[in-house]
Amino acid sequence: MHHGGIYEDEIVGKAYDRALMARFFRYLAPYRLLVAAALTVLPLTIVAKLAQPYLIKLAIDNHIMTGQLAGLPRLAALFLLLIMAESILSFLEVWLLQYLGQRLMQDIRIELFSHVQRLSPAFFDRTPTGSLVTRLTSDVEVLGEMFAAGIITVVGDLLLLVGIVAVMLWMNLQLSLVTFSVLPFLIWIAFTFRRRMRAAFRQVRARLASLNTFLNESISGMALIQLSNRQAAEHEEFRRLNASYRDANLPVITWDAALYAGVEALSSVAVGLLIWYGGSEILGGTLTFGALVAFIQYIEKFFSPIRDLSAKYSVMQGAMAALERLFNLLDTRDTLPEPDEAHRTIPPRPAAVIDFRDVWFAYLGDDHVLKGFNLTLRRGEKVALVGETGGGKTTVTRLLSRLYDVNRGGITLDGIDLRNIPLTELRRRTGVVLQDPYLFTGTVEENICLGDEAARQRVRQAAAAVGADRIIDRLPHGYQEEVRERGANLSAGERQLISFARAVAFDPEVLVLDEATASVDTASERLIQEGLKGLMAGRTTLVVAHRLSTIRDADRIVVIHRGEKVEEGTHDRLMADRGIYYRLYQLQFKD
- Measured CA to CA, the distance from residue 315 to residue 148 in angstroms comes to 9
- Measured CA to CA, the distance from residue 234 to residue 531 in angstroms comes to 44
For the chain, percent of residues with pLDDT exceeding 90: 12
Q: With 90 as the cut, is the pLDDT of residue 84 above it? A: yes
> Tens of pLDDT along 556-567?
999 998 889 999
Q: With 80 as the cut, is the pLDDT of residue 249 above it? A: yes
Mean pLDDT confidence for 439-455: 87
- Measured CA to CA, the distance from residue 107 to residue 105 in angstroms comes to 5
- Measured CA to CA, the distance from residue 384 to residue 513 in angstroms comes to 9
11: confidence class by pLDDT, cuts 50, 70, 90 = very low
Mean pLDDT confidence for 442-448: 88
- Measured CA to CA, the distance from residue 93 to residue 42 in angstroms comes to 7
Q: With 70 as the cut, is the pLDDT of residue 12 above it? A: no
Domains 17-330 and 380-393+430-588 share a fold: no
- Measured CA to CA, the distance from residue 354 to residue 357 in angstroms comes to 10
- Measured CA to CA, the distance from residue 48 to residue 85 in angstroms comes to 7
Amino acid at residue number 107: D
16: confidence class by pLDDT, cuts 50, 70, 90 = very low
What pLDDT score was predicted for residue 151?
67
- Measured CA to CA, the distance from residue 205 to residue 207 in angstroms comes to 6
Indicate the length of the chain as a whole number.
Answer: 591
User: Of 325, 502, 357, nearest to 430 (Cα)?
Assistant: 502
Q: What are phi and psi of 268, to 5 degrees?
A: -65, -40
Which long-range CB contacts under 8 A does 49-55 form with residues at least 24 apart?
Answer: 49/86, 49/160, 49/301, 50/160, 50/163, 50/164, 50/167, 50/301, 51/82, 52/79, 52/82, 52/83, 52/86, 52/297, 53/293, 53/294, 53/297, 53/298, 53/301, 54/167, 54/294, 55/79, 55/82
Neighbours of 399 (CB within 10 A): 22
> Tens of pLDDT along 296-322?
888 888 877 776 665 676 677 778 778
Strands 353-362 and 482-483: unpaired
375: confidence class by pLDDT, cuts 50, 70, 90 = very high
Strands ordered across the beta sheet of 382-386: 430-433, 510-514, 540-544, 382-386, 556-561, 564-569
Amino acid at residue number 111: E
Q: With 90 as the cut, is the pLDDT of residue 520 above it? A: no
CATH superfamily ID and name for 17-330:
ABC transporter type 1, transmembrane domain (1.20.1560.10)
What pLDDT score was predicted for residue 203?
79
> Tens of pLDDT along 268-284?
888 888 888 888 878 77
- Measured CA to CA, the distance from residue 505 to residue 489 in angstroms comes to 22
pTM: 0.73
Higher-confidence position of 436 and 453 = 453
361: confidence class by pLDDT, cuts 50, 70, 90 = very high
Mean pLDDT confidence for 238-254: 87
Mean pLDDT confidence for 327-338: 86
Task: DSSP for 122-171, please give it.
Answer: HHHHHS-HHHHHHHHTHHHHHHHHHHHHTHHHHHHHHHHHHHHHHHHHHH
Cα dihedral 456, 457, 460, 464 sign: negative
| Cα 341–chain centre separation | 31
81: confidence class by pLDDT, cuts 50, 70, 90 = very high
Strands ordered across the beta sheet of 416-417: 368-378, 353-362, 408-413, 416-417
Degrees to nearest 5, angle at CA 79 with 77 and 80: 65
Which sequence spans correspond to the domains of the chain?
17-330, 380-393+430-588
Residue 475 pairs with which residues in a beta bridge?
Answer: none
Q: With 60 as the cut, is the pLDDT of residue 3 above it? A: no
Contact partners, residue 11, CB within 8 Å, separation at least 6: 202, 203, 206
217: confidence class by pLDDT, cuts 50, 70, 90 = confident
What pLDDT score was predicted for residue 2?
41
Say which CATH topology domain 380-393+430-588 has. Answer: Rossmann fold (3.40.50)
Mean pLDDT confidence for 151-171: 81
Contact partners, residue 94, CB within 8 Å, separation at least 6: 148
Q: Are 294 and 121 in contact (CB under 8 A)?
A: no
Q: Are 437 and 495 in contact (CB under 8 A)?
A: yes
Amino acid at residue number 530: E
What pLDDT score was predicted for residue 535?
63
385: confidence class by pLDDT, cuts 50, 70, 90 = very high
Residue 513 pairs with which residues in a beta bridge?
Answer: 433, 543
Q: What are phi and psi of 491, to 5 degrees?
A: -75, 165
- Measured CA to CA, the distance from residue 562 to residue 391 in angstroms comes to 5
Q: Are 5 and 63 in contact (CB under 8 A)?
A: no
Neighbours of 566 (CB within 10 A): 14
- Measured CA to CA, the distance from residue 429 to residue 510 in angstroms comes to 6
347: confidence class by pLDDT, cuts 50, 70, 90 = confident
